[in-house]
Amino acid sequence: MLKILLVLLICLALAVAFVVWRLSERSASARANFPPNGQMIDVGGVEVHAYVAGEGPDLVLIHGAGGNLRDFTFDLTDRLTDRYRVIAFDRPGFGYTGHPPDADVERGESPREQARLLQAAADALGVTDPVVLGHSFGGAVAMAWALERPDATGALVVLGGATMPWPGDLDPLYGINASAVGGAIVVPLISAFATHDMAVKVLERVFAPDPVPAGYSDAFGIPLTLRRETQLSNARQVNGLRPHVVSMSESYAGLTVPVELVHGTADEIVPAEVHAIPLSGILPDAELTLLPGVGHMPHHAATGEVIAAIDRAAGRRRADARAEAASK
């Protein structure tokens, strides 16, 4: 019996060592094959990764859950740099952005904590009066951005944003992965052994019913999203989001900035009837655009409509600025 136990312990130790080696190898490979495509900004000792291109009024882009700024640089940014200075950020815990020093990382950074870190990075870049676009979880961060700086936010564009309290529970995997046991066992196994094809299947569900654009899965940086630390950040932030949205939603009615809400009617991940539609009735200056048959990734499935919403938001902000100047 003792020999059997000893053999089992040796096998377990070898298995753990192999998983640790595999995690290290995959993380190093992700960084080598998908290095930062922007610049690193030091914010009080925390690095924030920002892609900056173009000239014109400032446009800030904030990605959704499980993503990184490559979601925007794949196709959208190049269509905007002729008339905007585009600043796409990796959110805290994703891509190459670190965690706010005062945040409880094990709990998951709140949208407000994330907004404050990204605002500090934006300050370092000299960003002023920006149009702030947020997708999915990034929509909550965009709302938090305006709540944190209502007088220094030009306008908002919220794409499939998780902005309102929702009924029911999340996928149980978020809770499992956010737990101490899941974070120690399940997440490392996913990060060590999930294949590219498995990740593509997840992307297909995120895009559904729209197709994943050709070349997206290779350009997006799937290995970056599979890293253990990124999986943990995503699970913890998503699992803890609802209470923050409940709290923020109580202040939405006080936001007077122009807001463009763009949401696909076929979005089953963040349903329009739970989020964008009720939000449009709360905000004082919101315009709602529903995209028939479009899923959770409107900036890829209906890029023209999203760009039009950005231009409308910028135009509405300019009109408001002219009216403010004329009243003085």
pLDDT tens-digit map of 68-98: 999 999 999 999 999 999 999 999 999 999 9
What pLDDT is stored for residue 292 in this prediction? Answer: 98
C-alpha span between 265 and 262 (Å, rounded): 10
Residue 280, C-beta contacts closer than 8 angstroms, at least 6 positions apart: 261, 286, 287, 288
**Predicted confidence (pLDDT) at residue 7 exceeds the cutoff of 70:** no
In order of 120, 241, 260, the CA distances from 46 in angstroms are: 10, 22, 31
pLDDT band with cut points at 50, 70 and 90 for residue 104: confident
Residue boundaries of the structural domains of the chain = 34-327
Q: Which of 54, 95, 60 is nearest to 78 (CA)?
A: 54
pLDDT grade, residue 274 (50/70/90)?
very high
Comparing 189 with 290, which gets the higher pLDDT?
290
Strand-pair partners of 132: 60, 156
d(CA 22, CA 263): 39
* Token pair listed for 30: 């992700």
Q: Which of 323, 322, 314 is nearest to 129 (CA)?
A: 314
The answer to whether residues 155 and 258 touch, using CB atoms and an 8 Å cutoff, is yes
pLDDT tens by residue, 214-255:
999 999 999 999 999 999 999 999 999 999 999 999 999 999
Buried b (16+ CB within 10 A) or exposed e, 50-84: bbbebeebbbbbbbbbbbbbbbbbbebbebbeeeb
Does residue 8 carry a pLDDT above 80? no
Name the architecture of domain 34-327.
Answer: 3-Layer(aba) Sandwich (3.40)
pTM for the whole structure: 0.94
pLDDT confidence of residue 24: 77
Q: Cα(142)–Cα(245) distance, rounded to whole angstroms?
A: 12
